[in-house]
Amino acid sequence: MGSRALMCLISALAAILLPTSTNAYLPTTDGCYSEICPQATTIVKNMVNKIIKENRNMAGGLLRLHFHDCFVRGCDASVLLDSPSNEAEKDARPNANSLRGFKEIGEIKAAIEAECPGVVSCADILALAARDAVVEVGGNSWSVALGRKDGRVSLKSEADVKIPSPFDTFDQLVQNFAAVGLNQHEMVVLSGGHTIGRASCGAVQQRLYNFGGVEGATDPSIEPKFAKELKEKCPQNQQGSELSMDSSKNTFDNLYFKAVLAKKGLFESDANLLTSPVGLELVTRYSKPGSSFYSDFAAAMLKMSNIQWSTDGEIRRVCSAINA
């Protein structure tokens, strides 16, 4: 085993063993790059902080980008690849015209390449950026294991079926998360990432005007006054407004769970968390002050960011294309 591979292995083990922190940055387990690119994690952190200060809304975008990457072929930055025929992951139904952060990740990669070319993967940058973005808007930190490689394959067809849908039932969500090694408790707590998310009216039109395929029917699980507010923001068959997932827009907190419990979750998948005894218990628990949501979310993110690390990959020179 080469020295870099050994350092990356030590980094991964350290991240798994170290506890999560409370509202503070952990010393990142950057042994993987400590000799060959010691400034890597600092560059990511500083650039993410600048991005969030300029546009706080990007925190949710960077988190979602990492999430959608990890659910397809593991955390290998395959979501960043371009396709001349629009057949890559970014072109899939859950991603097209909604995923954000491609430009920002490209800029971070360029800054790191200028410092130490050819050694830091785009996949590691995605994992670090998601963590740093969450911390910047109020969430807990977690240790990020490093040493991922960038994948060479990105398929729209895979993303279409593997990424959880906002229309999923509780059982469908459990199955999607189980397919990548995450349990139902982790599924519920990771749903809390919606607290810094946003949605388009297209994601709720069916609940408001055509629920169950019945013309004019509104999902009865939506609190009536909230349904009225949504209809004002999202007129039928119109693009409408951008929607926040809870009342504290772009701040990482537990208000998402309070909204879901009050039947004010935007997505069917949010409302469906209450249809299972396990989901109802966890949503209720996380909605209360002083709950373990912050630390549980950080622990679940650490586990998610370790999904199926590719050993057959590369370190891309630019994140949107495989190396020639």
pLDDT digits (tens, 9 = 90+) for 241-289: 899 999 999 999 999 999 999 999 999 999 999 999 999 999 999 999 9
- The confidence score (pLDDT) of residue 96 equals 95
Q: What is the pLDDT of residues 69-101, one digit of tens each?
A: 999 999 999 999 999 999 999 999 999 999 999
* Domain hosting residue 45, numbered range: 3-163
Q: What pairs with residue 198 in β-bridges?
A: 244
Q: Are 18 and 29 in contact (CB under 8 A)?
A: yes
Ligand-binding site membership of 287 (annotated): no
Q: Are 147 and 71 in contact (CB under 8 A)?
A: no
In this structure, the answer to whether residues 134 and 213 fall within a common structural domain is: no
Tell whether 321 is covered by a domain: no
Query: What is the mean pLDDT of the segment spanning 285-296?
Result: 97
Q: For residue 80, which phi and psi values (nearest 5 degrees)?
A: -85, -15
Q: Which long-range contacts (C-beta less than 8 Å, at least 24 apart) are formed by 10-13?
A: 11/145, 11/146, 11/147, 12/145, 12/146, 12/147, 12/306, 12/309, 13/145
Ligand-binding site membership of 89 (annotated): yes
Give the Cα separation of 184 and 265 in Å (integer): 19
Tell whether 138 is covered by a domain: yes
Q: Which amino acid is at 167?
A: F
In this structure, the answer to whether residues 141 and 183 fall within a common structural domain is: no
Ligand-binding site membership of 78 (annotated): yes
Kindly indicate the confidence band of residue 26, based on its pLDDT and cuts at 50, 70 and 90. very low
Question: Which of 106, 139, 163 is at the close of a domain?
Answer: 163
Which CATH number characterizes residue 222's domain?
Answer: 1.10.420.10
Length of the chain: 324
Q: Would the pLDDT of 10 be above 80?
A: no
> Could you confirm whether 185 is annotated as catalytic?
no
Residues 6+ apart with CB under 8 A from 194: 245, 246, 256, 266, 267, 270
In this structure, the answer to whether residues 184 and 212 fall within a common structural domain is: yes
In this structure, the answer to whether residues 71 and 89 fall within a common structural domain is: yes
Query: What is the mean pLDDT of the segment spanning 305-322?
Result: 91
Of the candidates 64, 68, 90, 162, the residue annotated as catalytic is 68
Q: Would the pLDDT of 195 be above 70?
A: yes
In this structure, the answer to whether residues 178 and 266 fall within a common structural domain is: yes
Q: What is the pLDDT of residues 207-254, one digit of tens each?
A: 999 999 999 999 999 999 999 999 999 999 888 889 999 999 999 999
Q: Are 126 and 77 in contact (CB under 8 A)?
A: yes
Tokens for 13, please give them. Answer: 């083990």
Q: Are 123 and 77 in contact (CB under 8 A)?
A: yes
Ligand-binding site membership of 69 (annotated): yes
In this structure, the answer to whether residues 238 and 187 fall within a common structural domain is: yes
- The confidence score (pLDDT) of residue 285 equals 98
Q: Are 118 and 315 in contact (CB under 8 A)?
A: yes
In this structure, the answer to whether residues 131 and 260 fall within a common structural domain is: no
Kindly indicate the confidence band of residue 34, based on its pLDDT and cuts at 50, 70 and 90. confident
Kindly indicate the confidence band of residue 312, based on its pLDDT and cuts at 50, 70 and 90. confident
Number of domains into which the chain is organized: 2
Which CATH number characterizes residue 130's domain?
Answer: 1.10.520.10
Ligand-binding site membership of 82 (annotated): no
Give the Cα separation of 75 and 42 in Å (integer): 21
In this structure, the answer to whether residues 56 and 94 fall within a common structural domain is: yes
Angle at which helix 184-191 crosses helix 277-286, to 10 degrees, equals 40
- The confidence score (pLDDT) of residue 274 equals 98
Tell whether 319 is covered by a domain: no
Q: Would the pLDDT of 11 be above 70?
A: no
- The confidence score (pLDDT) of residue 7 equals 58
Residue for token digits 């994948």?
A: 151
Ligand-binding site membership of 76 (annotated): yes
Question: Which of 110, 139, 163 is at the close of a domain?
Answer: 163
In this structure, the answer to whether residues 200 and 294 fall within a common structural domain is: yes
Instruction: Give the mean pLDDT of the chain.
Output: 91
In this structure, the answer to whether residues 102 and 187 fall within a common structural domain is: no
Residue for token digits 């991005």?
A: 51
Residue for token digits 């729209």?
A: 156
Query: What is the mean pLDDT of the segment spanning 100-117?
Result: 97
- The confidence score (pLDDT) of residue 21 equals 42
Ligand-binding site membership of 219 (annotated): no
To the nearest whole percent, how much of the chain has pLDDT over 90? 84
In this structure, the answer to whether residues 150 and 174 fall within a common structural domain is: no
